[in-house]
Structure 1
């Protein structure tokens, strides 16, 4: 289950990530709560903050994938992680100083998003350099476990700290926590990395990556499904903040516990993925996981009480992690190593770049209808996308089989 941790470089990386990601999740919870406080509980304002944070993924992530194929990924991550830490420190100082305004949060959310847009494809394509292709599925699953362990601890800590001392110190903690992942990157042995030859620096590399993807119907369908799952189904943090505050009348601690309940499920799903990561992931895990996620999310949105809603989030987390972990490994193992950075740039653009649309849609639905509407509508959209995607791939497979049979009889 923990085979990837035999690699010294990956151990350093994973150790730093546990600390840094815990701080990241603390900041996400604190930022959402701060926006609601500054805006008088407006779901639309929260949707704008989410949109600004993820908008840079639409603008820059594809180009970041090109850069990831050209330059030293470890050095790039050191610079990007440092920038993300500075954003957290700046927001924390403004908040602790009592001068923070809504536009400050918007501006720093956009700045954090810019650094994240470059971080995501570089970090995703760096995993295989640390562990090698044979251990990639296991490392992807362990990354998900780390991410979701932090997702359990971070919001729970943030909810308690916000109640006791306010949001400002939480931002400062996150800013300092990025030092752990930077230290881990600095302690690595570059000579033990499984590096591939960098892409050439001639023009047209971005278009070359897009043409590469366009020649694979399987990749296209998986990427479109990932975009739909993320855009419509994974607006958890802002939806939970509205549900906790406006539907169930809970405080920040109650909001943090909802994120923790979801994270218990996602951690369980990541653990299961790590156990079965012995070969290439199967597409039925991608599409079956997506369909189950959509159904469970829609059902959770209808739970009548706070506690029943929290319990229903556990299987939601298992399903979404099954889908996203399998999709990530499928894409990475289906591409030429020299194209991996660009393809993962496209993957992360679709995975994160739909969040501005999803955040605005979530805020609008909650504003017009109620806090439950974003989860209900999002879940149904994911079910529809998974069914259509599976049907498209099945039809393509049938056509290939039929054409092969026809060619056999023609030659015979």
Structure 2
């Protein structure tokens, strides 16, 4: 039964869908868990090695397996029910969290004997799991929404949830680690992964979208890659995020800033890790009410430039509170870019191809955080921590300038939607 609705969409529309709420709860818990784990692993490995390059190697240990399996994972997400993939992947992540917890129960025989190597091994395994998780989750979410008019609303709230967990997770991880120890922190991590698994279990299985042109593995992968590289708007948006995060990400070096430069300890590290998400959550909530539509491309370019400026100033800052403000602003700018890019990909990609296109996106952007972590650690080893962060911010501005000059279609991008007629949307 159709119901007349006003032309302006309800900003809470997708949150009224029970299965989407379960999805949001699952996403909240798994993101909290991963953020808590990232803080603990970063501090623990730096405490063991006292080497900033080792922080970059954490990202590399996760990115290499994730990139390696990503294209195949996208193919699998278009061939197998996405919920089945998600359940298997989160089970593997639960195993990884349990192993990290187990290591802390017998330190003398594991970490003291092998150093940080066992932790790197677990991160490598989790990288494989995350490589399969990205395309499956990305392509599963639209199946819970159905109406394309709600895609932007769903992406905004999904991003808000991710950013809120990114805000709370590092602070929770740092505080638990600081006050109760590493074992308690890893126990919280494992518990949240388990809750995420149970939340996904509450969502019904969804049949795969009909594929009008079935292909074998290699043809299917080529089709997904060709789609991305033939669309200037999608390719330029993905590339912009890739290089901005690759050069401008300072997150991997935050343990060094917290320990040696700002001298705040693990509790301060948690707040530094959470600061970008503060800005991201605030701007994402604003965008639920006032989405970026007119001149979206130009606004996206300006926001990525603002991100680069914040990273430069953060590298030069010696004030803990000023550093928190700069990181929060960088998160706000980055969130806008993320929402615009995700909306573009969901809107322009056919349903039966979303797994493969998402896998290409993950190679470009999803793994750029981890590769960017390695780049940060490597450049910090070569030129020092502060020069490395400033260099990254400057390179981000260079990337924005080149993209603005070369990608005319992105520069002129406008996301103003067509009017929604009464009765277009249905109650679900």
What is the Cα deviation at residue 201 of structure 1?
5.0
Cα separation, partners in 2 of 1:49 and 1:317, compared to 1, 3 Å: same
Decide whether the 8 Å contact of 1:158 with 1:170 is kept in 2.
yes
Cα deviation digits, residues 23-54 of structure 1 (max 9, x gap): 22111100100101111x21011111121012
TM-align CA RMSD:
2.1
Residues in 1 aligned to 2:249 and 2:292: alpha-carbon distance in whole angstroms: 27
Q: Are 1:213 and 2:222 an aligned pair?
A: no
The equivalent position to 1:50 in structure 2, one of 59, 83, 92, is 59
Aligned to 1:408: none
Aligned to 1:60: 69
Aligned to 2:129: 115
What is the Cα deviation at residue 102 of structure 1?
0.4
Cα separation, partners in 2 of 1:154 and 1:88, compared to 1, 3 Å: same
Structure 1 runs (4+) deviating above 6 angstroms are 278-281, 395-398
Cα separation, partners in 2 of 1:235 and 1:278, compared to 1, 3 Å: closer
What is the Cα deviation at residue 194 of structure 1?
8.3
Secondary structure, counterpart of 2:263 in structure 1? coil
Decide whether the 8 Å contact of 1:26 with 1:154 is kept in 2.
yes
Decide whether the 8 Å contact of 1:93 with 1:172 is kept in 2.
no
The equivalent position to 1:171 in structure 2, one of 180, 183, 186, is 186
Q: Scaled by the length of structure 2, what TM-score is found?
A: 0.87
Decide whether the 8 Å contact of 1:219 with 1:331 is kept in 2.
yes
The equivalent position to 1:19 in structure 2, one of 29, 35, 52, is 29
Cα separation, partners in 2 of 1:396 and 1:383, compared to 1, 3 Å: closer
Secondary structure, counterpart of 1:301 in structure 2? helix
Q: Structure 1, unaligned stretches of length 5 or more? A: 399-412
Decide whether the 8 Å contact of 2:79 with 2:208 is kept in 1.
no
Aligned to 1:392: 406
Aligned to 1:308: 322
Q: Are 1:351 and 2:328 an aligned pair?
A: no
The equivalent position to 1:162 in structure 2, one of 167, 177, 199, is 177
The equivalent position to 1:10 in structure 2, one of 5, 20, 25, is 20
Aligned to 2:419: none
Aligned to 2:397: 383
Cα deviation digits, residues 172-204 of structure 1 (max 9, x gap): 2212211222212221233xx585214735231
The equivalent position to 2:283 in structure 1, one of 269, 291, 298, is 269
Aligned to 1:248: 262
Stretch deviating more after TM superposition (374-383 or 29-38): 374-383
Q: Scaled by the length of structure 1, what TM-score is found?
A: 0.90
Stretch deviating more after TM superposition (206-215 or 355-364): 355-364
Cα separation, partners in 2 of 1:304 and 1:82, compared to 1, 3 Å: same
Stretch deviating more after TM superposition (357-366 or 110-119): 357-366
Decide whether the 8 Å contact of 1:137 with 1:280 is kept in 2.
no
Q: Structure 2, unaligned stretches of length 5 or more? A: 1-10, 413-428
The equivalent position to 2:238 in structure 1, one of 223, 226, 249, is 223
Residues in 1 aligned to 2:163 and 2:124: alpha-carbon distance in whole angstroms: 24
